[in-house]
Amino acid sequence: MSKLLKDKAYINGTWVAADSGKTFDVTNPATEKTIGNLPDLGEAETERAVDAAHKAFPEWSGMLAVDRQKVLEKWYDLIVEHVDDLVEILTMEQGKPHKEAKGEILNGAGFIKWYAEEGRRIYGDNIPSNADNQRIVVIKQPVGVAAMITPWNFPSSMITRKAAAALGAGCTVVIKPAEATPYSALALAHLADQAGFPKGVFNIVTGDAKTIGEVLTSHPKVKKFSFTGSTAVGKKLMAQCADSVKKVSLELGGNAPFVIFEDADMDKAVDGAITSKFRNAGQTCICANRIFVHENIYDDFLNRFVEKTKALKLGHGDDDKTDIGPMINRDGVEKAYELLKDAIDNGAELHCGGEMRDDLGPRFLEPAVITDVKPSMRIFKEEIFGPVAALYKFSSTDEVVKMANDTQYGLAAYIYTNDLKRAWEVPEALDYGMVGVNSSLLSLPQAPFGGVKQSGFGREGAKYGLDDYIQIKYMSVQF
């Protein structure tokens, strides 16, 4: 692991400290012990990273797609080969259980393999013209330097998911990982270095979000900006990109409805709700935020769901028996706890969990289930981002679709039903970018992940994911 645990940022193929010599600490959320410190880069170093990526662009974009594929596949192979070390690093800085960390890293690496191949299928068009002596041809070219800011909840896959599409398209990248989880990003940089990316193609800048973010969103050499994080920060960064008219994609917050109809397969629905709600201690943007259960099966579902929730083991991520780890920071725990308390104070009933487990550490919240939740409560509107499951009872399809859509967000929604008509009609009526039908797994290399409304725009994964890193050039050729 020591080879992969870096203590510098990665710019232009070199490991660098901050010009000022300043560093910031990174903490293990399970123990609150310091893992180490990393360079707190400023404006000048970030500009150097952009310059390096800009300088590397002609070489990387000019390579044959089949040759870029080889480098990307080598990177993929190295990640798979070092997966156990990467798992340890990810759990140490983020807290999630080893098994989830492994799932994340391999799933994220899958995007590299996918875009290594997909980069060879960036087809143009030949459009019929109205004149004998004219041809209309469309070619697709990489946009240039792509800058990315990623969150702490998926420290590995949020990077590979974005970078793979950009690199596959022929762009060069500058990435700022979240301050809480930069080690996974730097480990990926180490492996990218070994895979043979030309210097300057892949850069990781660590440090203060605002300072680095201002350079990445305003620098004229950055042509594309991709962000995953909160809606509030995303809006600000989108505004900052306006002045230089960058291509932007945003994957922001969610408020996912998880709807269980009376004809659902109950075992599948309970398991799906547990996975969707409690994965990563409830800290994912596609987590079931509001669980709607039909009144005829409500009691049965509640009993089974509570029983399974009670069986989840809260603990440190490096213990193989752990199902749920710590939350990322004290603010996160406090917010989830506050939303839970607000709901209970306003009449919701607590069925299990909800205790802070100080015996494990200050960031551990026992997974909780509450019922009698009303749309007027804060927990209905706000992203919980913690292990608190809020259940709602509904009686008709129209009513539940209306409630499900009653939010500014539109990322993921889930429905469980065995009725074929409902399985087609309800997803079409939901204002969401993704709908799981009897399925709680959404992030796959071949599928377009992304939202609508204030959950953002742009897609990661699938053939569509390349569009965010490509521009269209049309040539009118006359002879």
CA distance 73 to 71: 5
| Residue of the chain from 233, 270, 287, 314 that contacts ligand ADP (CB under 6 A) | 233
Neighbouring C-beta atoms of residue 239, cutoff 10 Å: 10
In the complex, which residue's CB is closest to ligand ADP? 213
The pairing of strands 134-142 and 23-27 is: unpaired
Binding of ligand ADP at residue 229 (CB under 6 A)?
yes
Which residues are registered as beta bridge partners of 293? 260, 393
| Residue whose CB is less far from ligand ADP, 213 or 450 | 213
State which residue, 75 or 227, has the beta carbon closest to ligand ADP. Answer: 227
Q: List the one residue out of 86, 83, 19 whose CA is nearest residue 46.
A: 19
Residue 312's φ and ψ, nearest 5 degrees, are: -70, 135
Q: Using CB under 6 A as the criterion, what x/- string covers residues 309-348 for binding ligand ADP?
A: ----------------------------------------
Binding to ligand ADP by residue 209, rule CB under 6 A? yes
Question: In angstroms, what is the minimal distance from the CB of 224 to ligand ADP?
Answer: 16
Q: Judged by CB under 6 A, which stretch of 119-127, 147-155, 158-166, 255-263 contacts ligand ADP?
A: 147-155
Cα distance between the two ends of the chain: 62
Which candidate in 93, 100, 104, 251 is catalytic?
251
- Nearest distance in Å: CB 354, ligand ADP: 22
Q: Which of 179/334 has CB closer to ligand ADP? A: 179
Residue 227 or residue 416: which is nearer to ligand ADP going by CB?
Answer: 227
The reply on whether position 116 binds ligand ADP by CB under 6 A is: no
Q: Does the footprint of ligand ADP cover residue 30 (CB under 6 A)?
A: no
Q: What is the DSSP string of 217-282?
A: HH-TTEEEEEEES-HHHHHHHHHHHHTTT-EEEEE----EEEEE-TTS-HHHHHHHHHHHHHGGGG
Residue 196 φ/ψ, nearest 5 degrees:
100, 25
Number of chain positions touching ligand ADP (CB under 6 A): 13
The window from 93-101, 206-214, 412-420, 462-470 that contacts ligand ADP (CB under 6 A) reads 206-214
Does residue number 433 form part of the binding site for ligand ADP (CB under 6 A)?
no
Q: Does residue 27 contact residue 38 with C-beta atoms inside 8 Å?
A: no
For ligand ADP, the closer of residues 154 and 364 by Cβ is 154
Nearer to ligand ADP, 69 or 443 (CB): 443
Sign of CA dihedral 440, 443, 446, 450: positive
Measured CA to CA in angstroms, residue 297 lies from 68, 294, 374, 391, 399 at distances of 53, 6, 19, 12, 16
What's CA 69's distance to the chain center, in Å? 24
Residue with the two structure tokens 């193929």: 13
Sole binder of ligand ADP in the list 119, 142, 151, 170 (CB under 6 A): 151
Active site residue 81: no
149 binds ligand ADP (CB under 6 A): yes
Q: Which tokens belong to 189?
A: 């940089």
Catalytic: 251?
yes
Q: Give the residue, chosen from 179, 262, 342, 431, that forms a contact with ligand ADP under the rule CB under 6 A.
A: 179
Indicate which single residue of 150, 203, 226, 280 sits in contact with ligand ADP (rule: CB under 6 A): 150
Exactly one of 4, 53, 90, 178 binds ligand ADP (CB under 6 A); that residue is 178
**Which lies closer to ligand ADP via its Cβ, residue 168 or residue 386?**
386
Q: How buried is 334 (Cβ within 10 angstroms: 0-12 exposed, 13-18 middle, 19+ buried)? A: middle
Residue 367-406 contact track with ligand ADP, rule CB under 6 A, x = bound: ----------------------------------------
Q: Pick the catalytic residue from 171, 241, 285, 287.
A: 285
CA atoms of 160 and 187, how far apart (whole Å): 12
Nearest CB to ligand ADP, comparing residues 308 and 335? 335
Sole window of 97-105, 107-115, 230-238, 397-405 interacting with ligand ADP (rule: CB under 6 A): 230-238
Alpha-carbon distance 475 to 136, whole Å? Answer: 6
Closer CB to ligand ADP, 279 or 304, in the complex: 279
Give the pair of three-digit tokens for residue 464: 């569509």
Q: Assess contact for 351 and 370: CB atoms under 8 A.
A: yes
The answer to whether 230 contacts ligand ADP (rule: CB under 6 A) is yes
- The nearest distance, CB 90 to ligand ADP, in angstroms, is 16
CA separation for the pair 193, 468 (Å, rounded): 25
C-alpha distances in Å from residue 306, one per residue of 288, 296, 451: 15, 17, 30
- How far apart CA 114 and CA 430 sit, in angstroms, is 29
Show which residues are catalytic.
Answer: 251, 285
Chain positions contacting ligand ADP, by CB under 6 A: 149-151, 178-179, 209-210, 213, 229-230, 233, 236-237
